[in-house]
Structure formats: structure tokens, C-alpha cells
Amino acid sequence: MNVATKSPVAERILEIEESATLAMAQKSRELQKKGIDIINLSIGEPDFHVPEIVKQAAIKAIQDNFSFYPPVAGFPELREAIVKKLLRDNNLHYKPDQIVVSNGAKHAIANAFFAILDPGDEVIVPAPYWVSYTELIKLAGGVPVIIETFITNEFKVTPEQIEDAITDRTRAFIFSSPNNPSGMVYTEDELKEFARIFAKYPDIYILSDEIYELINFKGKTASIASFEEVHDQVIVINGLSKAYAMPGWRIGYSASNLSVAKAIQKFQGQMTSGANTIGQRAAIAALELDPASCVELQNMKKAFKERRDFVVNRLQEIDGFIPNYPDGAFYVFPNVELLYGKSYDGFTILNDNDLCMYLLNEAHVALVPGSAFGSPGYVRFSYATSMEKLVEAMDRIEKAIQRLS
């Protein structure tokens, strides 16, 4: 009898891509182990330290023996702190039982997709998008439907594009503002138009990824959940990794209508149970900080703005790069297609992946290709590192580009 050879791993794993940002970070670490001085502009984590009051809250939680299993959806005090934060910062009205605390915002997104998607359901995703969106959709049995945007329109999707993409299989729409990887920020008026469209389709959920909301250089970040006509359709995703410089603490959360929140809690109860206790107790202290008056948070935002201006200005001076001018987050997403076809030492750049490998090997600077974010022809610069490293990185990149012909 002939027996077909079966893959050693599940098909669902074979069908998803490895995280490009984590893969580039891993390549950087491997080269660093060989003694090569790599400047890593591929990873999206603040290079600042956690506010002291948050550290002290974590220390106190250890001393107070918060070492037992927490409630699946999070400590009541933390859920209440999130409710107060959403009202204070976003003018959003939720109750604690509509909040689920997770192991980071990525986990919150995964929870939401598994809670709302059936096999074959479509999710509309504007590109460029964060690398994990499409893969999490596929893991949950859904089908990503990509809408292209370009630097010429600030990487913003239009209401007309959204409505054109809606079918009878559409179950959700996911976007981030401020955006990863472009740093684009939707205005309140633009989100109002989105709300007008989705109000006509009450069965479509809107996943609003607001993890970068406090890193906005033009003012307050608007939330689509603030529009009453779609409030119950919105699943707000947020966390403490970016604004509070706590990526390693792994605390994120979702806010949604009660039915979705219960489904998320049910799913998380089987997958991971509650998020780590020490991080949760520290998160309470973090969320009680008013961002407008917290010196550490304001200094971090000021530094990011200065770095943004520096990187954009330098890129404008290097032939082949056409940078955008981001209003938030800590990324620049320049177009690099003018560099296609150029060569050095027998290596020809044919696409954004080639350019990233060229700069990694020749300039020893790690970037992420735009194709990983659904937007080939671009590369992502993360300026979440010191100005000293950014100066050196841009000098190296400029010299490497000058070698091309």
C-alpha cells in the first residue's frame, strides 16, 4: 500500500509567513555574534526605560506576593484603570466587563480574530499593514482582502476603496492609526467617513489598533470607537508596549461590546489564561499616569519627533529614497524603486528585499522590506534608537548607496 508522505507540521503553519521584523532582528543578532557591528533599525520597540513609578509598582507586586493565577480577563483594578484611561484619553465609554487584558496587543488581535471569524470570512486590510495582521487572519481561518495605498496619498485608504472591497463574506476591517509601518495618522474627519460607511454594515467588525496613539506629533489621536453609530462594532486594541516603553512586560488589552468580550475571554481562558500578574499590577500604575503631564512620556515623544525630522531630512539627501513625512509612531517608510537595477560588486538590486540585504551586508544596517507589510517598493526605518546610532546608520547607508551604479 502506498502511503502519502505527510508534512511533519500542520498545514496552517506552512501557510503563514515568519514575522519579517523578528526575522530581520534575528539576522542582525547572528551577525553581531560574529563580531559585526550592526545598527538595528528593524525592530519596533522604544529604547527608553519604564517610568520609575511603574517599576516601583512591579517591585511592590512581587513583595506583596502577586504570584498566583490572575482572573482570565485581568485583575478588576486593571480593567477599571483601562476604563478610566479610555474615558480620559479617548472619550470612550466602556465598562470593566467589556475589557480583556492579554499578553500584549498582538495577543489581543489574535483573540479578536479567533472570537469573530469563521472559516472563509473576509477581513479587509489596508496596506501597508503590520506584518502579523494577515497571518493571524489566516490562522483564524479568515481570508485577508488587501487594499493598496501609496506614498502619494499618505498611505491612506479612502471610504470608496473600503466600500468597494466589502462583499457578503466581509466580517471585519482592521487598521492602525498611527500606522505601523508608515507613521500615517487618520484625522477625526477621515474616521468619521469610515464610520459612515460601516454603519451601513452592522455585521462588520472594525478592529482599531491604537497601540501608537500616544506617539502622535500633531495632537490627540482620534478613535473610530468614538462615533456612536459604530461604537458596538469596534474592537479597540491597545497596550503598554509603545507609549509606556514596556514591550517586554507583555500587557495589552481589547475593549469591545459585551458579547465579543465574553467570546474573547472564553478563548483566552483555553489558550493562555490571564496575563502575568506582576505586569498587570505595574500596568495599573502606568495607566494612572496622565500622558499630558508625565515628564517621562513627554520626553520620549519629543525625542521621537526630533529623530523623525533627522531621518526624513537625511533620506531626502540620499539619491534613490523618497521618504514620507509621518505624523506618528516611530517609523519612516520611504519609496526605494529608483534604486532598482543598480549594482555593486556583482549584486543587483531588483526589489525591496534585495535592498535590505544589500544594506545589511554592505552598510551593516538592518531595515525591513516593505513587501513584508504588503507594500513592495518601500522599506521601513525604525528610529526607536539613539540619535548617535541614527547618525551613524544614515552615514553608512549614504556611503553604501553611493557605491551603486
Q: What are the boundaries of each domain within the chain?
A: 11-49+295-402, 53-287
Average pLDDT score, the chain: 95
Contact 364, 39 (CB under 8 A): yes
- The pTM of this model reads 0.95
Asked if residue 4 has pLDDT above 70, the reply is no
Tell me which residue of 328, 379, 310, 323 sits closest to 351, measured CA to CA: 379
Q: Residues of the chain with pLDDT > 70: what percent? A: 99
Q: Residues of the chain with pLDDT > 90: what percent? A: 90
* pLDDT tens, residue by residue, 223-275: 999 999 999 999 999 999 999 999 999 999 999 999 999 999 999 999 999 99
| 373 Cβ contact partners less than 8 Å away, ≥ 6 residues apart | 20, 127, 128, 129, 130, 131, 181, 333, 380
Asked if residue 2 has pLDDT above 70, the reply is no
* pLDDT tens, residue by residue, 264-300: 999 999 999 999 999 999 999 999 999 988 899 999 9
Q: Which CATH number fits domain 11-49+295-402: 3.90.1150.10, 3.40.50.970, 2.60.120.10, 3.40.50.2300?
A: 3.90.1150.10
E-only strand ranges, 133-204: 143-148, 170-176
* pLDDT tens, residue by residue, 307-338: 999 999 999 999 999 999 999 999 999 999 99
At residue 7, the pLDDT reads: 82
DSSP 184: -
Contact 364, 36 (CB under 8 A): yes
At residue 373, the pLDDT reads: 96
Q: Which residues pair with 239 in a beta bridge?
A: 252
What is the rounded CA–CA span in Å between residue 113 and residue 357?
Answer: 33
Contact 381, 367 (CB under 8 A): yes
Question: Which CATH architecture best describes the domain 53-287?
Answer: 3-Layer(aba) Sandwich (3.40)
